[in-house]
Amino acid sequence: MLAILCSLAVPGAASEGVAPATAVAPAFSPALDQTAALRASQAAVGRAIGDYTLQDRDGRAIRLSSYRGKPLLVSFIYTGCFQVCPTTTRALQQAASVARDALGDKRFNVISIGFNQPADSPQALKSFAAQYGINSPNWEFLSPSAAIVPELARDFGFAFAATAAGFDHLLQVSVVDAEGRIYRQIYGEDYSADYLTEPLRQLIAGTPVTDATSLSAILEQVRILCSVYDPRTGKYRVSYAIVLEIAGGATFLVWIIWFFLGEWLTRKRAARRARA
């Protein structure tokens, strides 16, 4: 897995990026050390995120703890970026759309945090979201106070540094589990939808069914567990081969239990006859 660094050095210089599997040497020296940034980002995996209070696009206070209970995707952006941040946001938008189709509209949330304060105000983030047509009910844009940005960034393992033309920063999406711990870091300005959907699917499939008596809930969990990514279409589909394997395995397990139970009852009856 390769770290991706958005680097802006001087006006007119091209922004360089690395696709998830392809390295591209930058044409200039970035303000951030890519290896150190990646190391700090990976060190955040497994870390519990603090309960920070931020503002949504309407200026209302939102605590990060309010997102617990479901997996969460977190990206850091700055609204003054006119090339890389819009590209990464569109990539996240496309991947989140595929994930919603595969996993359900209400199974996870997405937040984008504006780290350039005070420029990334609630109104600036609202305009950014509107400009790129992001109006999903499970996706919010949040503005932290300038005072908490360094600590907030450290919690997520997000590295950034100011430059003459903007910021160098890690192109990162954090996958956070339902308990508020970082589960995985995804890097790049463009990636296929399965980079995000797979860890979300793992988290959701591993969550116990809340209503064990509901057949629809059980079937929904099985559907999510048995969905596979089709790179030709960029979508997820249910693999009926996996469904049959699970059904066959469950049938075999029931048969084994029945067999040993029958053997135990037979031996118990034989022992009673021997004592009689």
d(CA 77, CA 86): 9
Same domain, 43 and 104: yes
Same domain, 193 and 253: no
Residue 231 lies inside a defined structural domain of this protein: no
pLDDT at 162 over 80: yes
Q: State residue 19's pLDDT score.
A: 34
pLDDT at 216 over 80: no
Same domain, 203 and 270: no
State the CB neighbour count (10 A cutoff) for residue 52: 18
Residue 246 lies inside a defined structural domain of this protein: yes
> Strand 72-77 vs strand 109-114: parallel, antiparallel, or unpaired?
parallel
Percent of the chain at pLDDT > 70 equals 72
Same domain, 42 and 165: yes
Same domain, 156 and 246: no
Q: State residue 197's pLDDT score.
A: 87
> Strand 139-142 vs strand 5-6: parallel, antiparallel, or unpaired?
unpaired
Domain end (from 193, 209, 225): 209
Q: State residue 184's pLDDT score.
A: 94
Same domain, 256 and 179: no
Domain end (from 209, 226, 250): 209
The boundaries of the domain holding residue 46 are 5-209
Q: State residue 114's pLDDT score.
A: 97
d(CA 62, CA 48): 18
Burial class of residue 109 (count of CB atoms within 10 Å of its CB; 0-12, 13-18, 19+): buried
Same domain, 46 and 179: yes
Residue 216 lies inside a defined structural domain of this protein: no
CATH number at residue 115: 3.40.30.10
Same domain, 116 and 246: no
In this prediction the pTM is 0.71
pLDDT at 6 over 50: yes
Q: State residue 159's pLDDT score.
A: 93
Q: State residue 164's pLDDT score.
A: 83
Q: Which range, 214-218, 221-225, 234-238, 257-261, has the best average confidence (pLDDT)?
A: 257-261
Provide the mean pLDDT of the chain.
79
pLDDT at 48 over 50: yes
Which has the minimum average pLDDT: 65-79, 179-193, 227-241?
A: 227-241
d(CA 95, CA 67): 20
Looking at the structure of the chain, the number of domains it has is: 2
pLDDT at 63 over 90: yes
Residue 258 lies inside a defined structural domain of this protein: yes
Q: State residue 240's pLDDT score.
A: 53
Q: State residue 14's pLDDT score.
A: 30
Structure-derived torsion over alpha carbons of residues 102, 178, 87, 193, reported in degrees to the nearest 10: -30
d(CA 164, CA 149): 20
